[in-house]
């Protein structure tokens, strides 16, 4: 994909639905009593993997236009579950299936097959799950076993790990709790509560009791992780407005980073939709300054870190991002691939074991980059090339369809 440079970039954008919420809306309703309609869903490859897995488990999941209609099943059947490239699908389903006492095998594509799954399997064993991995990675084999409640303390703040434990707890005997070092995104807690679960949050600890879920219609807000690319282009080149964006406080680390970087932005038309806070986000061209992010900042903006690194490449001063080892085990090693992408477009970026050191420059030359079939690297690279002097090409650019179908068409509208 060839990306042309822009002198200015302006416009209003209706961003696709939130991927995290879409995964959960399909999965939880498929495990609930009754029927539900999910509107505004993100129908990219990852969420379609979740839909296919829920069909394999016995639920009815139909895509009708822009909506997903789900008829749940309280009793799962044994199944082989192919999760494609979606770590969210595999990790959350490991917990949900364990709580339903079924036999299941979880597999994925080559990229997912290289990602760590013991971080989920190990705490599930504390609840009594009979679950094995292959050297810590997929395939994952689950054998039917009764679960009991447990108090679980996890060392890394992870919404996927926390969610898997809570979902297992729905089918366990007794109460289950999960304690994190920092609070991760809370879409699971919000949605389970709306569907009738007994969920209680105290600080960084979440507790859940066994129960039956009841189907609930969901309107999915726009994904702030996807909106962030067009917010960044507004900060670099002009003015953008992203409409109907979810601004859940556990997901708005990007906005707190914007404040530290002197990005001019405003939340407009703030409201609540299906229990999730939503707003339009306006961003204007800004004189960027360097940024420091540490381990405590990472959970609320981990998906946006490659993009934040791009903004740092244009900021005045030296930026330091640390405590982000989690990037090493995403669709690519995002510490290595982000640093490589930035160097390819003329930025001054040094990878560290847990992040980056980036020395900002007023202008970047542009160049050709590799996406490593990682959607976040491809889209962050597209922003860098759009704001560069010469633009360039992205190899394996189609990987953006995982989370943002039509991304390049949106980009050409600015």
| Dihedral-angle region of residue 174 (phi above 0 means left; psi in -120 to 50 means alpha; beta otherwise) | left
| Distance between CA atoms of residues 330 and 116, nearest Å | 9
CB 149 within 8 A of CB 173: yes
* Neighbour order of strands in the sheet with 355-359: 292-293, 318-321, 355-359, 348-352
Active site residue 303: yes
Q: Which of 2, 13, 20 is nearest to 414 (CA)?
A: 13
DSSP for 182-227, please give it: S----HHHHHHHHTT--EEEETTEEEE-----B---EEPPBPHHHH
| Distance between CA atoms of residues 28 and 216, nearest Å | 9
Measured in whole angstroms, the distance separating CA 120 from the mean position of its chain's CA atoms is: 17
Q: Which two tokens stand for residue 31?
A: 């495990």
Residues 6+ apart with CB under 8 A from 412: none
| Distance between CA atoms of residues 101 and 239, nearest Å | 52
| Three-state DSSP state, 263 | coil
Q: Which two tokens stand for residue 167?
A: 């979902």
Q: Which two tokens stand for residue 293?
A: 């992010």
- Choice among 18, 303, 374, 401 that is catalytic: 303
CB 51 within 8 A of CB 88: no
Residues marked active site are found at 303
């Amino acid at each position: 994909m060839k990306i042309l440079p822009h002198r200015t970039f302006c416009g209003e954008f209706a961003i696709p639905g939130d991927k995290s919420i879409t995964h959960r809306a399909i999965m939880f309703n498929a495990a609930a009593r009754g029927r539900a309609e999910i509107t505004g869903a993100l129908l990219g490859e990852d969420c379609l993997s979740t839909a296919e897995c829920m069909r394999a488990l016995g639920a009815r999941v139909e895509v009708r236009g822009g909506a997903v209609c789900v008829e749940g099943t309280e009793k799962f059947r044994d199944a082989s579950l192919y999760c494609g490239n979606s770590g969210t699908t595999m990790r959350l389903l490991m917990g949900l299936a364990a709580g339903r006492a079924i036999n299941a095998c979880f597999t994925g594509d080559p990229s997912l097959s290289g990602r760590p799954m013991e971080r989920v399997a190990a705490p599930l064993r504390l609840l009594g799950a009979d679950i094995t991995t292959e050297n810590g990675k997929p395939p994952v084999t689950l054998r039917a076993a009764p679960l009991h409640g447990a108090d679980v303390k996890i060392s890394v703040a992870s919404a996927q790990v926390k969610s898997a434990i809570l979902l297992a707890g729905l089918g366990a005997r007794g109460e289950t709790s999960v304690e994190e070092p920092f609070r991760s995104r809370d879409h699971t807690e919000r949605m389970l509560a709306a569907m009738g679960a007994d969920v209680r949050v105290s600080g960084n600890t979440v507790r859940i009791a066994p129960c039956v879920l009841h189907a609930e219609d969901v309107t999915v807000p726009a994904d702030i992780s996807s909106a962030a690319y067009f917010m960044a282009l507004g900060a670099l080149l002009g003015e953008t407005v992203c409409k109907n964006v979810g601004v859940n406080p556990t997901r708005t680390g990007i906005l707190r980073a914007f404040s530290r970087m002197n990005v001019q932005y405003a939340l407009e038309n703030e409201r609540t939709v299906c229990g999730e806070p939503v707003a339009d986000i306006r961003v204007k061209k800004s004189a960027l300054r360097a940024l420091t992010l540490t381990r405590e900042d990472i959970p609320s903006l981990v998906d946006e870190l490659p993009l934040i690194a791009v903004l740092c490449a244009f900021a005045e001063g030296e930026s330091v991002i640390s405590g982000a080892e989690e990037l090493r085990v995403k669709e690519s090693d995002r510490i290595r691939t982000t640093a490589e992408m930035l160097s390819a477009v003329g930025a001054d970026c040094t990878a560290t074991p847990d992040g980056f050191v980036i020395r900002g420059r007023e202008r970047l030359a542009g160049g050709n980059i590799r996406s490593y079939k990682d959607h976040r690297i491809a889209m962050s690279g597209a922003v860098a090339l759009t704001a560069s002097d010469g633009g360039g090409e992205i190899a394996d650019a189609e990987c953006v369809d995982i989370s943002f179908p039509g991304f390049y068409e949106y980009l050409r509208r600015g």
